[in-house]
Amino acid sequence: MSEDSEEEDYSDRSISDDDESDEDTFMKFVSDDIHRCTLLAADSLGDPFFPRTTQILLEYHLGRWVPRLREPRDLYGVSSSGPLSPTRWPYHCEVIDEKVQHIEWTPFFPEPVYVPTGLEIEPVYPNNKEDTVVYLAEDAYKEPCFVYSRVGGNRTPLKQPVDNCDNTLVFEARFESGNLQKVVKVADYEYQLTVRPDLFTNKHTQWYYFQVTNTQAEIVYRFTIVNFTKPASLYNRGMRPLFYSEKEAKIHNIGWQRIGDQIKYYKNNLGQDGRHFFSLTWTFQFPHNKDTCYFAHCYPYTYTNLQEYLSGINSDPVRSKFCKIRVLCHTLARNMVYVLTITTPLKNSDSRKRKAVILTARVHPGETNSSWIMKGFLDYILGDSSDARLLRDTFIFKVVPMLNPDGVIVGNYRCSLAGRDLNRNYTSLLKESFPSVWYTRNMIHRLMEKREVILYCDLHGHSRKQNIFMYGCDGSNRSKAKGLYLQQRIFPLMLSKNCPNKFSFSACKFNVQKSKEGTGRVVMWKMGIRNSFTLEATFCGSTLGNKRGTHFSTKDLESMGYHFCDSLLDYCDPDRSKYFRCLKELEEMEKHLNLDRVFDDSDTSLVEISLDVESRDPNTSESTALTWLSDDTQEEPLRNHWH
C-alpha cells in the first residue's frame, strides 16, 4: 500500500455526497471492457481540451463524443455486482471444496448447564499401537512459519478420510474455522481426539470445530479431547459442547444446540515438554442415521459469514448511505481487514463536532461470541429505530469487526499467522508482522487528532468466568484523580443496569497490569481515551437473575449489542440524572466498602469484597442496587423516555 493510500485509510472525513470520490482509494476497478465499443478514456484522445485522465469517459452519441465521469469503483470484497473476495489460506493447508453453512436458530427455552452426577468417568488412554487412526491432518506441520498464501490452500489432491463402509464415524475439519488434528478409534463407539495448536505455535489448544458423518442413531458414543492446556475450564462449571445436525436443520429447522452427558474436564496422564494436558470427555446419541453433524466449542462465525454480512450492507440502498465500508489493510495472507464508518451523512461542518465511538472484535479467532455481539451491535445501529437514528446523528462510529481474519480462517484459537497474540502487540512498530493492529492504532490516532473519542471497546470471549463483564483502566495516581477513576466505572455500571441478567458489574476490573500493556484497551487509554474497555463474554452462560444456570444463545449475545447502544445513550444524555446517580452509587460503594483497600489489590474487582452479585438470591440482580429516579432538569433529554 502506498503512502498516499495509507493516509487516505485514516482520513476521518464526514460522510456526504461531496465525499463520494474518496471511495476510489479503497475500491477495485470494474472491468474496463464494459461498453468498449462506444466508450473511450479521455487520455486515449489527442484532444488537448481534455486532461490526461482515466476518470473521464467519452461516449459517442448522436454524432459526437459526450464526456462523463467514470462510475465509482466497487469496494474490495463487498461488491454488490460481483462475488465475495475469496479466502486465502497458507499454501500448505488442505481445504475441502464443500462450503459449510449453518442456519441461525434460537432454542425455544434457555438451555440449562450440565449438573454433574458424581458418576462421571475419566477415560485414560495408553499409547496403544493397535488403535485405529481414523483422521490425521498432517499439513499443519509442513512449515515452521508462514510463507505465502493461496486461494483454496494446497492444490494437491486431498487425502480422503477412512471408508465409511463399517460403523466407524468419519471426521473432517478441513474447512473454514475448522480445527481437529487427529482422531483415534479406541473402541467401537469411543474416540480419542486431538485438536490442532495455533498454526506455527505449539500451544493454544482450546478451539474445536469439526464434522462427523456416517452416524448411527440411538448409539451412545463417547468423545474425549485429550490435549487442552488450561487447568480451569467452564466445562467444570456446567458448560456443554455445541452440536449441529444437518437433518435436524432440514426437517425441524433446529440449529446449534447444547448437548452431552457424562461431561468431565480433568487432568490426564499425557503431557509434552513439561506441560500437563487436560481432557474433555462427553457422551452423546446422534438423532439420525447417516447424518452430517458438527461439534464446536462456541457458535462458529467465519470470515465468509462476515463478508456476506458486509455485502448485504453494501447492496442495501438505505444502510449503505450511512455505513461506508473500507479496507483498512491486508493481513499476512492477503485477506482484507474491513473498517466501517457509521454516521448520518451531513454536508456541513457540523459533523466535525460529532464525537467518535470505536468498536473492534475477533482479535482472538476462537472467541466467536465476540462476533455475535458485534453482529447484534451492527444490526441495531444500522436499523430504523428512533434510538438507532439518534445514535447515528450524535456519533461517528468506527468499527473493525474482525481484526484477525487469517486466524479465523485457519481455525486458530488465539494467534495470527505470525504465531503471536495480536492483542499483546498494539505497541509494536512491526507493521508488516501485525498489520491489523498497527493500522487500527494508527487510524485511531489520526481520528483523535480531529475529534474526541469518547469510548473504545474491544470485544472478547472468556474461557473461565461466567456472565459478561468489562475490563477498564485506572490511573496510577488515584488520590489526585479520585473522581476520574470513579467516572471510568460509570459506563459499565450503566450496562449492568440495562442488562442485569447477563452483565456482572461485580466481575469488572480496572487495573492495568504490566503484562497487559500491549493490549488494545491499555494502549488506547494511554493515547488519551478515558473510557477504554475490553468487553468479555463467557463461552457458557449466566449466574444472574432469570438467566441463572443457563447457556447464552446467539440471540443473547446479539442482545448485548443493543444494550451497549442503550447504555451509550444513557451515558451521553444531556439529562445527566442517570450519570450522576451512578457516580453517587460508586461513591457510596467506596465509602461503605473501604474501596481504597480494594484498589490496592490489583487482582480484586471493584466490589468483589462484599458486593458479590453472583452469590445473591437468583431472583435478585444488580439493578436493585440503584433505582432510576427522574429529577427536574433544565437540560433537554437526548431521548424522550427512560428505561
Rounded to whole angstroms, how far apart are CA atoms 441 and 360? 11
Nine-digit cell string for 375: 453482529
CB atoms within 10 A of CB 479: 8
In the chain the first and final C-alpha atoms are separated, in Å, by 47
What is the residue-wise DSSP string for 490-521? HHHHHHHHH-TTTB-GGG-B----GGGTTSHH
For the record, the C-alpha cell of 134 comes out as 481414523
DSSP letter for each residue of 134-160: EEE--GGGS-SS---EEETS--SPPPP
Residue 397 CB contacts under 8 Å (≥ 6 apart), including other chains: 340, 341, 342, 343, 356, 357, 358, 359, 381, 391
For 520, the grid coordinates are: 488494545
Q: Are strands 293-296 and 323-330 parallel, antiparallel or unpaired?
A: unpaired
* Total count of residues recorded for the chain: 643
Which residue's entry shows cell 447417516? 290
Of 94, 172, 536, 558, the catalytic one is 536
Is 367 annotated in the active site?
A: no
CA distance 459 to 362: 7
Radius of gyration of the chain (CA): 27
Number of H helices, E strands in the chain: 14, 27
262 by Cβ neighbours in 10 Å (0-12 / 13-18 / 19+) ranks as middle
- Please work out, in degrees rounded to the nearest 5, the angle formed at the alpha carbon of residue 145 by the alpha carbons of 144 and 150: 120
Residues 6+ apart with CB under 8 A from 12: 356, 396, 446, 447, 450, 451
Cβ distance 238 to 115 under 8 Å? yes
Cβ-proximal residues to 491 (8 Å cutoff; 6+ apart), any chain: 455, 531, 533, 567, 568, 571
Q: How far apart are CA 440 and CA 403, in angstroms?
A: 9
SS3 label, residue 381: helix
The set of catalytic residues is 536
